[in-house]
Amino acid sequence: MARKNGPAADKASAPQPEFRSEHDSMGELQVPAAALWGAQTQRAVDNFPISGLRMPRGFIRALGLIKATAAEVNQALKLLDAPRATLIRDTALAVAAGRYDEHFPIDVFQTGSGTSSNMNANEVIARLASQAGDIAVHPNDHVNMGQSSNDVIPTAIHIAASLALHEQLLPALAHLALCIERKGKSLKRITKTGRTHLMDAMPLRFDQELSGWAQQLRNGIARIESALPRLQALAQGGTAVGTGINADVRFGARFAKALAKRTRVAFTTSPNYFESLSSQDAAVEMSGQLKTVAVSLTKIANDLRWMNSGPLGGLGEIELPALQPGSSIMPGKVNPVIAEATAMVCAKVIGNDATITIAGASGNFQLNVMLPLIAHDLLQSIELLANVSRLLADKAIAGFTVRRDHVEATLAQNPILITAANRVIGYEAGAAIAKQAYKEKRPVLDVARERTGLDEATLRRLLDPATLTEGGIPDPGNAGGGG
């Protein structure tokens, strides 16, 4: 076949330009030709080559939902024509769905208001909408209509965090709590040595011990739910400083109602836009609740590690599922890796809370100026806790087994059991029996029989570990009969 010549062939073979020229109020600059963003996004890319950390997926989703909902509300208020509103809505929902995440390149450490990220969304949506329709869509005049970065970014933080809590963390915590409760029920007949100060104490059942873990998580769920109404109150409608300049007075309330219908989350408009723009107290409050959950999970993870320790030189009460080799040099070693990962996640969440606290305190007059950092760390904490809670449930709690013979042997030698006889023999006599049993490594029952004169049947009633887990005062039976 003969080679084609002419202008068309020359155009097809010519190298495509790597950049295109874009402009904003500060002038022109070069933007990568394939990029959907415009000049303001490019300035932020150039200005903030700091961490390589981009804004989270959940935050970009929230930006898309804001722009789609705002377009619908502006159309309903007869401020935006139907063709542009439809183009913006459809494009923004595609952004929310994650189809264009690669076109959100701005670093977390950017302008404190998050203006760069808001304009990133405006520019990407405007360009896509303009390409899809036969009319020009402007990033500021149309996509950002009735909005300011100063109310969009606080709103995005609240939306993203609320959705992540409803969709990820709350279900994960409920799953973990239920898993613990089921595991406890299956171990109800097994009594073990209790421990206070890491030292032997009165006995309790495994289901009783695990019920404490489950209640910690149920309380954590309740704490999060109690803070949700304030997180679900949105700044949208306050625009630049809280006065609502350039937004219809009906915009905020209609926006919240439309978004609630779209997401099935009970979003409301803020009762005070000045508070919502100038502070991030609701995010700080929620971070504090996440920190409390992290504290609870740390306790649970550490209890599992202690109970699993050994198997010969530690407590050796349980065996966690063996998931991977534990050492590159010691064959056969298996470690409690899920519990360790949980503890690390919790350390990160507690650190994030400290960061969010400082960032939340960084509001000056009408605006907080660490919004992107709050967004990043709050969403990271939610995601980490959700993921590790499911792992802890499915790969640690559900599958651990109790070393029953070892647990029962240890319990039989626990000299603290003599506490149950205090009412009959007195504290000092009990202390002497406990010390002798510990020193001689003998069952406390044998020593008590020798030193008290109580018959074996009475002592067995007094010192029965399973009975002692029910609380109250043990029935001494015929304790006064001697023998």
Residues tagged active-site: 197, 327
Calpha distance 213→159 (Å, rounded)? 30
Calpha distance 116→369 (Å, rounded)? 13
HEC letters along the chain: CCCCCCHHHHHHHCCCCCEEEEEECCEEEEEECCCCCCHHHHHHHHHCCCCCCECCHHHHHHHHHHHHHHHHHHHHCCCCCHHHHHHHHHHHHHHHCCCCHHHCCCECCCCCCCHHHHHHHHHHHHHHHHHHCCCCCCHHHHHCCCCCHHHHHHHHHHHHHHHHHHHHHHHHHHHHHHHHHHHHHHCCCCEEEEEECCEEEEEEEHHHHHHHHHHHHHHHHHHHHHHHHHHCEECCCCCCCCCCCCCCCCHHHHHHHHHHHHHCCCCEECCCHHHHHHCCHHHHHHHHHHHHHHHHHHHHHHHHHHHHCCCCCCCCCEECCCCCECCCCCCCCECCHHHHHHHHHHHHHHHHHHHHHHHHCCEECCEECCHHHHHHHHHHHHHHHHHHHHHHHHHHHCCCEECHHHHHHHHHCCHHHHHHHHHHHCHHHHHHHHHHHHHHCCCHHHHHHHHHCCCHHHHHHHHCHHHHCCCCCCCCCCHHHCC
Q: Which two tokens stand for residue 137?
A: 């869509």
Question: What sign has the CA pseudo-torsion 420, 423, 424, 429?
Answer: positive
Q: Which two tokens stand for residue 338?
A: 């899920």
Contact between residue 256 and residue 269 where contact means Cβ atoms under 8 Å apart: yes
**Residue length, the chain?**
483
What radius of gyration, in Å, describes the C-alpha atoms of the chain?
32
Residue 34 phi/psi, 5-degree rounding, is -85, -5
Calpha distance 228→169 (Å, rounded)? 13
